[in-house]
Each structure stands twice: as C-alpha cells, then as structure tokens.
Amino acid sequence: MAKTKSPKKGRSIYLDPSTDSKLVEIANENGVSIGNVVKELLDEKQSKESHDDSVLPTILVFSNFKGGVSKTTSVKEIGYNLSVEGFKVLLIDLDGQSNLSSSFQVYDPRNMSGYISDVILADGNGNRKELADVIAHTEWENLDLVPANLAFAAADNKIRSQEGGAIDRRLLYAIQDLLKEASYDYILIDCPPTADSVVQNAILTLQTGNSRSMIIVPVNSDVQAIEGMNRTLELVDTISQDNRLAKPKVMVLWTQADERTNLFRDLFAEFREDYPKLPVFNTIITSSSKVGEARGALEPLSKYARNAKPTQRYQLLTQEILTLR
C-alpha cells in the first residue's frame, strides 16, 4: 500500500493499489509526479467543500426560555440590516403570538397564503404545506417572512399529539426542501419563550446551515433572563447528545441595557465572571422607547429612528455578525 504525504501538514493518506495505478497513469499522462496529482485532487476536494459550505445559508436561531428579552426585536432588526447589506434573508416566526409577523405591513391574516403551522402541523387529512407555499415577501427588498398565527400557540402539544415521526426535525426537513428551489444567505428563526419541541425544531435546523450558523441567546438585566439562558443551554446540550451532534455555536447578546447605571455594569461584570467561557457579542443593545415605537409604526429602527442609539447598536451588531467566522 503506497503512503503519500498530503500537502496539509501532519496529514497523510493511504491509497489502495487500484487507486495507486490510476494515479500513476494520470501522472504519466500529464508528465507530473504522483505527489502533484494527489495535491491537485485534495485541493479540488477542499475547494468543493468550502464552496458547498458557502452556498449553505447562515442560520441564526434566537432563543431564550425567558420571555421579553428582545428575541423578536433582534430578529427583525438584524434581519432588516442584513437585507439592506444586499443579502437575501428569510425570517421564520415560530411564535404563535406572531409578534414578529405583525411587525411587517405585509402581515394581513386575510391575505396570507399560509403560516408556519401549515408546515409543521398536519391538517385533517394528514397533509402539510411546503415552506415555499407560505413565504411572504415583506415590503422590504430581499426580506422574506414565514408568518405565524394563533394556530401555532402551544404548538408543542399539537406536534406531540399528531401521528408521524421526526417531530423535532420537521422544520429542518422543510428548510432542506426549500433550499432545493430557493437560495437564502441568512435564515433567522424567532423562537417562543419555551424549551420544547418547537425550539428543538429550531435548533436542529442548524445542521443544514453553514459553519457560521449559531444560536443567539438574548439576555437583559432581569435575573430570570440568565435562568432562562441556562434552560436554553441545557436544551442545546441534550439535543446535541441525543442526536450525537457536535455542540452548535452559541453566543449571548445583551439587550435593553441602561449602560449608565451601576446596576447594569455590576450585572454585566458578574455575568462575565460567572460564565467566562460563554461567548458574548461585543455590541450591547441599549434600551430606548424608540424600539417599541418603531414596532408600532411597523418600521425597522433604521427607518424609524436613524440616529437612535439602539439603531446604531443593531447596525454595529450586524457588522459584528458579518465578521464572525
């Protein structure tokens, strides 16, 4: 058996005799050494792999068991900012309260062609729609939305009570089917404040995203937000173990911060001390009444209050996300 040094330091490959004679043939035909042929093949394989990774979308799942920590606001603002940067973005609302969906003018229950519930839950005949059938184009260029409605409230019970397997992979399969026909650079998923099969569905979609995909856990200064974060992190661990998957990337995002107060500074310092290994975004989202006003006006912050502090912070955060590798 021939052993040939690969071009990557420290790695070597073993060739069986049939491959070996084929390589000699190619090398002779092209007047190059076998080593060169192997290098070419490896380079080609590597470039294919990196190309494949780059054609996959970056999937960002926003989850915290605690409610009211800015999951929905962050999906809307980061999603809009990414679309302004020219990326094709899909937002998926997994919360039956439909706060994300109703942040867009396009959301009109009389006009929607369907909802996330039609994709995840089967109808009376056991049929489900495809994601492509329920995607709405928002009023903003490059920004699409899979809306939710009340039919998806308490969806965990409904998912579990229906027949059919893979109850935690329905969204993963639906996204994989969608990506056969459509391409998105970013898919942002807004989770409800739960740690159930709905969130499991969201976390398992990371398998079909590129290596920059991750779970973003927003936290605010409410102590329960840290408890909620821990609950979410436990769920991520359980899912990874149960499915024998590598642990996905997780990053914490501080939101609704009043940076001038000692309370915030103390809490933040304490948090960094308690969780030294947990990556946190450098950008902190400040608190401002403009956030709620912009939602009421059905506009992203960048349109509604261009110079407000949280607007600038969400823009900085978007740049930070774009530079992460």
Ligand X SMILES: Nc1ncnc2c1ncn2[C@@H]1O[C@H](COP(=O)(O)OP(=O)(O)OP(=O)(O)O)[C@@H](O)[C@H]1O
Q: Which residues bind ligand X (CB under 6 A)?
A: 67-73, 95, 99, 193, 255-256, 285, 287-288, 291-292, 295, 310
Nearer to ligand X, 38 or 267 (CB): 267
Q: Is 288 in the site for Mg ion (CB under 5 A)?
A: no
Q: Which of 293, 294, 268 is nearest to 283 (CA)?
A: 268
Q: Is 170 in the site for Mg ion (CB under 5 A)?
A: no
**In the range 94-153, which residues lie near Mg ion by CB under 5 A?**
99
Q: Work out how close the CB of 255 gets to ligand X at its nearest, in angstroms, rounded to a whole number.
A: 5
Binding partner of 58, given Mg ion, ligand X, none, CB within 5-8 angstroms per partner class = none
DSSP, res 137: E
CA-to-CA distance for 152 and 149, rounded, in angstroms? 6
Instruction: Say if CB 279 and CB 251 are below 8 A apart.
Output: yes
Binding partner of 114, given ligand X, Mg ion, none, CB within 5-8 angstroms per partner class = none
Distances (CA, A) of 138 to 117, 143, 300: 19, 6, 12
Binding partner of 69, given Mg ion, ligand X, none, CB within 5-8 angstroms per partner class = ligand X
Q: Is 74 in the site for Mg ion (CB under 5 A)?
A: no
Supply 132's token pair: 């492509």
Q: Work out how close the CB of 221 gets to Mg ion at its nearest, in angstroms, rounded to a whole number.
A: 18
Instruction: Say if CB 60 and CB 189 are below 8 A apart.
Output: yes
Q: Which conformational region is residue 142 in: left (phi greater than 0), alpha (psi within -120 to 50 degrees), or beta?
A: left
Residue number, nearest CB to Mg ion: 72
Supply 232's token pair: 């979410």
CA-to-CA distance for 172 and 206, rounded, in angstroms? 8
Binding partner of 283, given ligand X, Mg ion, none, CB within 5-8 angstroms per partner class = none
Binding partner of 172, given ligand X, Mg ion, none, CB within 5-8 angstroms per partner class = none
Nearer to ligand X, 73 or 208 (CB): 73
Instruction: Say if CB 149 and CB 114 are below 8 A apart.
Output: no
Interface with Mg ion (CB under 5 A), residue total: 3
Instruction: Say if CB 186 and CB 168 are below 8 A apart.
Output: no
**In the range 44-73, which residues lie near Mg ion by CB under 5 A?**
71-72
Nearer to ligand X, 205 or 287 (CB): 287
DSSP, res 278: S
Report the interface residues with Mg ion, using CB under 5 A: 71-72, 99
